[in-house]
Amino acid sequence: AVERTLSIVKPDAVAKNVIGEILTRFEKAGLKVVAAKMIKLDDEKAGGFYAEHKERPFFKDLVSFMTSGPVVVQVLEGENAIAANRELMGATNPKEAAAGTIRADFAESIDANAVHGSDSAASAEREIAYFFAADEICSR
């Protein structure tokens, strides 16, 4: 089925100037960018986004990393977009990410891991609404 998923190009990848290379991978895989914006997250916005990780030991470092520079938030649309994006990203820890995945090619560490992608239909719905109003998404 055609799905939508939330993707974030994280501060490390923005700093490396590989926004375009990452979005190209989505497009080459048949995913369409139907919404996009560059924003600088603050503690409240980043903490709310990652609320499910609030009790995890890495939460503080995660929020501090995600607010360290601008990010590019996008909605990707396409057939099985959620799983397709996760396959393109590779494992959360770049050391475990398969060759040719975004994280294997661009990420440095489990914190600075280049991209985020929704992990389920329920999180995609929540995460998309967290960043975009309905009229900011251009279905095509």
* Block residue for tokens 């030991």: 57
Is position 7 an interface residue for ligand CMP (rule: CB under 6 A)? no
- Residues annotated in a binding site for ATP: 10, 58, 86, 92, 103, 113
Residue 122 phi, psi dihedral angles, 5° rounding: -65, -45
- Residues annotated in a binding site: 10, 58, 86, 92, 103, 113
Is position 108 an interface residue for ligand CMP (rule: CB under 6 A)? no
Is position 83 an interface residue for ligand CMP (rule: CB under 6 A)? no
Is position 113 an interface residue for ligand CMP (rule: CB under 6 A)? yes
DSSP H or E stretch at residue 49: helix 43-49
**How many C-beta atoms lie closer than 10 Å to residue 127's C-beta?**
23
Of the candidates 5, 46, 116, 132, which one interacts with ligand CMP according to CB under 6 A? 116
The amino acid sitting at 136 is: E
Rounded CA-CA distance 118/133 in Å is 17
Write down the catalytic residue from 72, 75, 97, 116: 116
Is position 92 an interface residue for ligand CMP (rule: CB under 6 A)? yes
Whether 116 is catalytic: yes
> How much helix, strand and coil, in percent to the nearest 5, is found in the chain?
45, 20, 35
Of the candidates 23, 31, 62, 114, which one interacts with ligand CMP according to CB under 6 A? 62
Centroid of chain to Cα 93: 14
Is position 110 an interface residue for ligand CMP (rule: CB under 6 A)? yes
Q: In the complex, which residues of this chain contact ligand CMP (CB under 6 A)?
A: 53, 58, 62, 92, 110-111, 113, 116
Q: Which residues are catalytic?
A: 116
